[in-house]
Amino acid sequence: MKTFLATYGPTIKLLGLVSTITFFLSLLIIPWIIARLPEDFFLHIHDRRIKEDEHPVIFILVLILRYSMGSLLFFAGLFMLFLPGQGILTIVLGLTLLDFPGKQKAVDALLDFRSVQKGLNWIRKKEHKSPFLFSPAKQQNK
């Protein structure tokens, strides 16, 4: 046991620190983002494409920033499935920032879960915002 702790002790401490930091950051950042989204955000995910008619430098910078944040949120959400945090909600937000074939199906599959809709709207209620509107097929009975 002593050799295990001597060998992996610093790694275990680092993972514990990262876990604690991501937990508290998710408690601050995810509700902040969710509260600032428009209530019809999940109705028009497919319409949120980056405008290619902007200046090429701005287009590329926005694309890099958007994909970086989307990837960061997606992978942080995956880690939060096993560590403390709001994993599924973070994954949903990350996916909405990315553009890939099947994105709408992936987001819709996550929004099919009543608990995900309740979690999103619970955060909005705490922030005194109106609940998200989901497509009629996704709208769950309350």
Where are the chain's structural domains? 2-126
Write out pLDDT tens, residues 84-122.
777 888 899 899 888 888 888 888 888 888 888 998 999
User: Tell me, what's the pLDDT at 57?
Assistant: 86
Given pLDDT bands bounded at 50, 70 and 90, which one contains residue 142?
very low
User: Tell me, what's the pLDDT at 141?
Assistant: 47
Residue 45 or 93, more confident? 93
Instruction: Note the maximum CA span of the chain.
Output: 61
Estimate to the nearest angstrom the gap between the alpha carbon of 106 and the chain centroid.
13
User: Tell me, what's the pLDDT at 137?
Assistant: 60
DSSP string, the chain: -HHHHHHHHHHHHHHHHHHHHHHHHHHHHHHHHHHHS-TTGGGSGGG-PPPTTS-HHHHHHHHHHHHHHHHHHHHHHHHHTTSSS-HHHHHHHHHHH---TTHHHHHHHHHTSHHHHHHHHHHHHHTT-PPPP--TTTPPP-
User: Tell me, what's the pLDDT at 97?
Assistant: 87
User: Tell me, what's the pLDDT at 63?
Assistant: 87
